[in-house]
């Protein structure tokens, strides 16, 4: 467990909450089925509002009879997940059938809406860390087309090898008809492999050249093309089967490498629900005396909106009638609630806190408020077109070296024996095909991403590990990124049972974050709620409870104890006499102080950017050991982006979790988030992480450097292989049989080296 973790039995508050829920419902079998080996939850899950559900149910037939809904579900990763979703479904009345497809993250639910409130089931499941959304378009694996090409080429290569073996074992001119047939079949199989598998690399290489980028696929495409053309030349001029089997196997191996690379990224991308952040958001709008649910894009200035607790304010609005607390954490980073009065402006992106609904009047559309633009953002790229200086230099040197070697070999044999020129040139072009680039390095990449997945880190951009080597600065948001998003209370004062019952009843009557933090104290667990207690909340001061002649207060020192001076802390008093003092602080994720120290000792600048108040940000910076000149507070979203722009953002990593971090995400060279339950940022991020995540940045850099070492080792061994193979070619000793042995052997050596050097050295996270 990370140092400083609050509950030693659990890696994060989310896992603790899930354990309590499963235990309370008698679902401990989840852990027996392997649920403990899954990914951590992170912050305690907060179920959504499911505004999209009534519309889906209406389209499916309303309340007239059994319904069938198709939903996407995020978070299914093992048999235990399938079991717990089905068991919770089975226990509810009105359920008819559930069909789960874990690989696609899709569920088909059949139920009777007259007996089952589906919202309650969805909320129960989301409390366990899963997420629901309406089914997106057909969710097909990005690698499916590549897998089909790989399967066809693998079949072609095996058949090509069968025909080639007949030549290697003596099939010759004494059986001319069979020999001619096998030569034609070998040529046809090789041609089909190039036509089916080659375009994957040809099109990518051409796209890179049009952008003036030496893409990684360029040497592979050149190797395939020249090897095939050389073999075809032999076939038509000398009637030989030449290197057709080698070329076919090479195409298959390159496709296998590409499939491994794309599969690793696709697996991490498919963990997230596919939506743009706005398509499933609804708001209640008054039409006369009736309420209707509409998409947030349909809001107009002047519309009267009805907000339920926990719902999003989708456009700048005017608060009507009564004071209400609002959370601005998502848009400004403020961790405390802000109490707004009637007539105050409620900013777009705020959430209604408390436990009572309220009416607001929209002052502008959601688009004019800028919320839609922030929610939609830009989908993160897969990094396929981004090539670092290292790979650009490698590609350039490789292509030039192969062409120079072929030219030198041709010139040498043009002087020694012109009849051998074509044989030597073709053999050079074929034996130098880049197996290390095409199969061994993608395998190492796949193993690197698998290593990060075991640590709860999921890479979505193929270029991340290359970009991580160049990071100079890491910019962290505070609330929700360095903290769990809530507060944590502590006290050394002992209370009698009656006093603890009163205290618990008071804090459970309030939605204020300080009340919620005190309610989580272990000494208050399991106590009854006193219904006869009359509790009142005084905005900005605290809580007061009365029962008979007794009066209890919880809040600021002046409010709870009386007097003129304000004492630090939150005080609990009975009839003006102090009973306890609570210290309330932000609930920091464990391990970040050690993480920052290690990052800074390795030469990485760590910056803290927050929209929260100066005092709270300064206290966090002191706790985490950050210098004052790298800490900024009370920043707007645009100011965060401007801060990055002034500090080489292309060489930096932005780590954030709220909507206020979206502009900074757009300018940062790399971005990461722990916020899987929020729209926008996960789909824009290069990687996301679960659990405490305090060491995520350092572990990504560590794996990136390990991958670089494996790449260089592979290139060194590939260089030795090419030196031996080129020597044989220059002495005109290379034959199709020898090539058919050397190329697969070199590939196996490089694959084994990659698997050995990238083997798992870390234990799977237990949740």
Render 175-208 in DSSP notation, one character per residue: SHHHHHHHHHHHHHHHHHHHHHHHHHHHHHHHHH
pLDDT at residue 2, rounded to an integer? 42
Q: Which residues of 660-682 are buried (b: 16+ CB within 10 A; e: fewer)?
A: bbbbbbbbbbbbbbbbbbbbbbb
Give the ranges where 211-278 is alpha helix by DSSP (H): 217-238, 244-269
| Distance separating alpha carbons of residues 7 and 26, to the nearest angstrom | 22
Give the number of other Cβ atoms within 10 Å of residue 346's Cβ. Answer: 25
- Is 321 within 8 Å of 359 (Cβ atoms)? yes
Q: What is the largest CA-CA distance in the chain?
A: 116
Token digits of residue 592:
């970040």
Put the strands of the sheet holding 457-459 in their side by side order.
Answer: 457-459, 687-689, 670-673, 652-655, 473-477, 605-609, 631-632
- Is 479 within 8 Å of 485 (Cβ atoms)? yes
Per-residue pLDDT at 765 exceeds 50 = no
- Among 321, 269, 593, 310, which residue's Cα sits nearest to residue 458? 269
Q: What is the dihedral of CA 117, 120, 123, 124, to 10 degrees?
A: -130
Give the dihedral sign, CA 595/597/602/607: positive
| Distance separating alpha carbons of residues 267 and 280, to the nearest angstrom | 24
- Is 413 within 8 Å of 239 (Cβ atoms)? no
50 Rama class: left (phi>0) / alpha (psi -120 to 50) / beta: left
- Phi and psi at 98, nearest 5°, equal -130, 130
Average pLDDT, the chain: 79
pLDDT at residue 670, rounded to an integer? 92
Per residue in 563-622, pLDDT tens?
766 667 899 999 989 999 998 888 788 888 888 999 999 999 999 998 877 888 888 899
Q: Where are the extended beta strands (E) located within 633-724?
A: 652-655, 670-673, 687-689
pLDDT at residue 202, rounded to an integer? 87
Per-residue pLDDT at 735 exceeds 60 = yes
pLDDT at residue 605, rounded to an integer? 94
- Among 362, 357, 366, 370, which residue's Cα sits nearest to residue 346? 362
Token digits of residue 47:
């179920």
CB-based contacts of 646, cutoff 8 Å, min separation 6? none
Element (H or E) spanning 739, and its range? Answer: helix 736-757
pLDDT at residue 105, rounded to an integer? 76
Which range has the top average pLDDT, 24-28, 254-258, 336-340, 648-652?
648-652
Higher model confidence: residue 279 or residue 217?
217
Predicted TM-score (pTM) of the model is: 0.71
pLDDT at residue 241, rounded to an integer? 57
Per-residue pLDDT at 26 exceeds 90 = no
- Is 411 within 8 Å of 404 (Cβ atoms)? no
Higher model confidence: residue 312 or residue 415?
415
What average pLDDT does this structure show over 29-49?
A: 67
CB-based contacts of 219, cutoff 8 Å, min separation 6? 395, 398, 399, 402, 434, 437
Per residue in 147-164, pLDDT tens?
889 999 999 988 888 887
- Is 293 within 8 Å of 54 (Cβ atoms)? yes
| DSSP three-state, residue 305 | strand
Cα angle vertex 716, ends 251, 722, to 5°? 55
What average pLDDT does this structure show over 387-412?
A: 75
Per residue in 49-92, pLDDT tens?
677 788 788 888 777 778 888 888 877 777 788 888 888 898 88
| Distance separating alpha carbons of residues 581 and 494, to the nearest angstrom | 10
- DSSP-assigned letters across all residues of 373-404: HHHH--PPP--TT---HHHHHHHHHHHHHHHH
- Is 307 within 8 Å of 360 (Cβ atoms)? yes
- Is 497 within 8 Å of 601 (Cβ atoms)? no
Token digits of residue 508:
């459970």
Q: Which residues of 414-424 are buried (b: 16+ CB within 10 A; e: fewer)?
A: eeeeeebbbbb
What is the crossing angle of helices 53-60 and 118-126, to 10°? 140
Q: Model confidence at 25, in pLDDT bands (50, 70, 90)? A: confident
| Distance separating alpha carbons of residues 129 and 281, to the nearest angstrom | 20
- Phi and psi at 61, nearest 5°, equal 130, 0
Per residue in 495-535, pLDDT tens?
999 999 999 999 888 767 788 888 888 888 888 888 888 88
């Amino acid at each position: 467990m990370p140092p400083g973790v609050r509950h030693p039995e659990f890696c994060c508050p989310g896992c603790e909450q899930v354990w309590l829920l499963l235990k309370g419902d008698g679902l401990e079998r989840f852990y027996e089925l392997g649920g403990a080996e899954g990914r951590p939850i992170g912050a305690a899950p907060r179920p959504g509002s499911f505004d999209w559900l009534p519309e889906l149910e209406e389209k499916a037939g309303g309340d007239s009879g059994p319904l069938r809904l198709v939903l996407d579900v995020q978070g299914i990763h093992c048999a235990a997940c399938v079991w717990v979703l089905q068991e919770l479904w089975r226990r509810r009345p009105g359920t008819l059938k559930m069909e789960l497809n874990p690989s696609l993250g899709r569920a088909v639910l059949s139920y009777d809406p007259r007996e089952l409130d589906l919202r309650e089931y969805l909320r129960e499941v989301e409390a366990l860390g899963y997420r629901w959304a309406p089914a997106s378009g057909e969710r097909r694996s990005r690698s499916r087309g590549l897998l089909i090409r790989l399967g066809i080429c693998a079949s072609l290569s095996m058949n090509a090898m069968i025909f080639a073996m007949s030549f290697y074992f003596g099939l010759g001119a004494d059986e001319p008809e069979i020999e001619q047939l096998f030569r034609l079949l070998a040529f046809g199989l090789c041609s089909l492999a190039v036509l089916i598998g080659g375009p994957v690399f040809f099109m990518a290489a051409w796209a890179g050249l049009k952008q003036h980028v030496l893409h990684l696929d360029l040497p592979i495409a050149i190797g395939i093309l020249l090897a095939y053309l050389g073999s075809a030349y032999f076939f038509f001029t000398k009637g030989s089967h030449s290197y057709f089997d080698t070329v076919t196997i090479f195409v298959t191996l390159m496709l296998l490498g590409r499939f491994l690379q794309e599969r690793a990224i696709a697996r991490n991308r498919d963990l997230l629900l596919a939506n743009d952040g706005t398509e499933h958001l609804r708001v209640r709008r008054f039409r006369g005396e009736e309420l209707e649910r509409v998409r947030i894009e349909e809001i107009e200035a002047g519309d009267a909106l009805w907000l339920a607790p926990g719902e999003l304010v989708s456009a700048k609005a005017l608060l009507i009638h009564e004071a209400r607390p609002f959370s601005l954490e998502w848009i400004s980073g403020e961790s405390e609630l802000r109490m707004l009065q009637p007539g105050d402006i409620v900013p777009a992106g705020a959430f209604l806190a408390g436990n009572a609904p309220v009416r607001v009047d929209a002052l502008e559309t959601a688009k004019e408020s800028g919320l839609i633009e922030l929610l939609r953002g830009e989908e993160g790229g897969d990094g396929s077109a981004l090539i670092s200086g290292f790979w650009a230099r490698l590609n350039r040197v490789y292509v030039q070296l192969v062409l120079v070697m072929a030219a030198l070999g041709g010139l040498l044999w043009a002087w020694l024996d012109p009849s051998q020129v074509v044989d030597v040139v073709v053999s050079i072009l074929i034996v130098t095909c880049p197996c290390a680039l095409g199969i061994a390095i993608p395998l190492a990449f796949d193993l690197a991403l698998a290593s990060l997945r075991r640590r709860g880190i999921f890479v979505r951009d193929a270029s991340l590990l290359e970009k991580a080597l160049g990071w100079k600065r890491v910019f962290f948001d505070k609330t929700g990124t360095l903290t769990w998003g809530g507060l944590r209370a502590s006290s050394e004062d002992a209370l009698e049972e009656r006093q603890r019952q009163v205290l618990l009843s008071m804090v459970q009557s309030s939605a204020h974050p300080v009340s919620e933090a005190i309610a989580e104290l272990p000494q208050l667990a399991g106590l009854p709620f006193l219904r006869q207690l009359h509790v009142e909340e005084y905005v900005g001061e605290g809580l007061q409870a009365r029962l008979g002649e007794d009066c209890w207060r919880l809040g600021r020192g002046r409010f709870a104890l009386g007097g003129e001076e304000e004492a630090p802390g939150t005080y609990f008093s009975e009839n003006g006499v102090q009973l306890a003092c609570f210290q309330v602080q932000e609930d920091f994720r464990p391990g970040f102080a050690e993480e920052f120290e290690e990052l800074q000792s390795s030469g990485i600048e760590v910056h803290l950017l927050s929209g929260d108040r100066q005092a709270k940000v300064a206290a966090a910076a002191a706790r985490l050991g950050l210098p004052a000149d790298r800490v900024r507070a009370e920043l707007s979203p645009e100011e965060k982006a401007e801060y990055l722009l002034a500090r080489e953002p292309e060489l930096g990593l932005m780590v954030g979790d709220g909507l206020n971090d979206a502009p900074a995400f757009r300018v940062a060279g790399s971005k990461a988030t722990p916020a899987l339950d929020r729209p926008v940022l996960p789909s824009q991020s290069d990687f996301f992480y679960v659990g405490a995540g305090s060491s995520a940045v350092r572990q990504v850099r560590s794996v990136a450097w390990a991958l670089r070492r494996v790449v260089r080792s592979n290139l060194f061994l590939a260089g030795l292989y090419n030196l031996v193979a080129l020597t044989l070619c220059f002495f005109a000793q290379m034959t199709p049989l020898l090539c058919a042995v050397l190329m697969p052997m070199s590939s196996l050596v490089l694959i084994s080296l990659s698997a050995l050097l990238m083997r798992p050295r870390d234990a799977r996270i237990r949740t």
